[in-house]
Amino acid sequence: MRVSDVMMGKSFLANLTQMKNNIDKVNREIYSGSKINKPSDSPTGTSKLIKLNESISQSESFQKNVAYSLSFMNETVSSMEEIEGEVGNLEALFAEINNAANQPYLKNYGQKVDLAIDSLLNAANRSYDGKYLFGGTDFDSKPFDFNADKSAIELQVSAIDGEHNVKIGPSTVQKVNISGDELFGSIGTNDVFNTLIRIKDKLNSGEVPTQSDIDLVKDFHSNLLNKLSYAGNIQSYLQSTSEMIDQRVLNMKNLVSMETDVDIAEAAISMQNQEYMLQVAYKTASSILPKSIVDYL
């Protein structure tokens, strides 16, 4: 084939451009640390990345929900344990009352019951981050309080049966509260507060409380223990969900890494190779391109 001067120049420039493009590509990969910097670098990879990043971001959002719900449940369980402690003490106190030797001191027991009512009321009205633990979904005012003449405890909100349903997975919604309704039942006559008020009133008037009232307190205690177990299950479920989300996020980040991360060692070797080729091309061109027969005439 006849080789003209223009061909030499064109051929050199075309190869040089190709080499510089290769160097630029490897260079961009090294300094960005990513193989995909724009959709056309890998259209399917970009699509995968968008979906993976959404899943990671969503999972991190679920993780926040789980962490918050766990704190809320911890606070709920702590309050329920406090109530359980008070109710347990009250049951022991009721056993003492039945002892004839303690009959003269019924008023003293009445004072103890009175203090226990305050303590229960305090625990039942406890809040976390502006939310009443047992107030259902009405956060506007505390759910339980004495009526005007302090003779009974009444609901201060319209309802306490609202559920806190929290999304903790793409298709998982978990209830993360124990509603006041679930724990204390219907507030009015036979709830634990008003039952204890009746017991207190009896003791203060020197009478032994009725067995039916003591049974109501026992029933409340039994329900409370059930709900504590239920709350513990929720805590445990949230805990394991949190670990699963962590694992899921880790797996997805690995997938992202596989899709985008540059093998720096490989890229550096490739870069060295390209630079070497570039030097050879320059050296060869510098000795061949300027030469012609004119130099020897």
Partner 1 sequence: MGISRVFDISRRSLATYQKAIDISSHNIANASNPNYTRQRARISTEIPEKTAQFIWGTGVKLDNIDRVKDGLIEAQLINNSQSYSRHNKESILLGQVEQLFSEPSNLGISNLLTNFMNSWNELSVTPNSVSLRNNVIFNAQNLADKVKNVNTDLGTIKYDVFHEFKEQTDRVNTLLSEINEFNKQIFSFKASTSSPNDLLDERDALINELSGMVNIKVNYDQNNMASVSIGGVFAVDGSFANTFEAQVVNNKLTLVSANNPNPIDLSGGELYSLSDVYSNKISEYQSGIDSIFNKLVEKVNALHESGYSLNDSTQTGIKFFTSYSGGELEINSSIISDPTLISVSSDGTSGNGEIARQISEISNESVLNGQTLLENYASLVSKIGNEKLTNEKLAEANKMVVDNLEMQKASISSVSIDEEMTEIIKFQRSFDASAKLIQIANNMLEQIMGLI
Between the CA of residue 263 and those of 32, 44, 47, what are the distances in Å? 12, 20, 21
- Which residues in the 166-185 window bind partner 1 by CB under 8 A? 166-167, 170-171, 173
Q: Which residues contact 41 (CB under 8 A, 6 or more apart)?
A: 35
AA letter at 270: S
| 143 lies in the binding site for partner 1 (CB under 8 A) | no
Q: Is 6 among the residues that bind partner 1 (CB under 8 A)?
A: yes
Among 26, 49, 192, 199, binds partner 1 (CB under 8 A): 49
Q: Distance between CA atoms of 88 and 19, rounded to whole angstroms?
A: 82
- CA 93 to CA 82: how far, in whole Å? 17
* Cβ atoms of 262 and 35 closer than 8 Å: yes
Rule CB under 8 A: choose which of 92, 99, 130, 150 binds partner 1: 130
* Contact range with partner 1 by CB under 8 A, out of 45-53, 148-156, 208-216, 225-233: 45-53
Q: Is 290 in the site for partner 1 (CB under 8 A)?
A: no
Q: Which stretch binds partner 1 (CB under 8 A): 42-50, 115-123, 191-199, 243-251?
A: 42-50
Does the protein bind partner 1 through residue 101 (CB under 8 A)? no
31 touches partner 1 (CB under 8 A): no
Instruction: Name the 3-class secondary structure at 65.
Output: helix
CA angle 116, 118, 122 (to 5 degrees): 115
Q: How far is CA 112 from the centre of its chain?
A: 41
> Which tokens is 192 given?
């634990």
Q: Which is nearer to partner 1, 93 or 285 (CB)?
A: 285
Residues that bind partner 1 (CB under 8 A): 1-7, 10-11, 14, 36, 38-44, 46-47, 49-51, 53-54, 57-58, 60-62, 64-65, 68-69, 129-131, 135-140, 158-159, 162, 164-167, 170-171, 173, 260, 292-294, 297
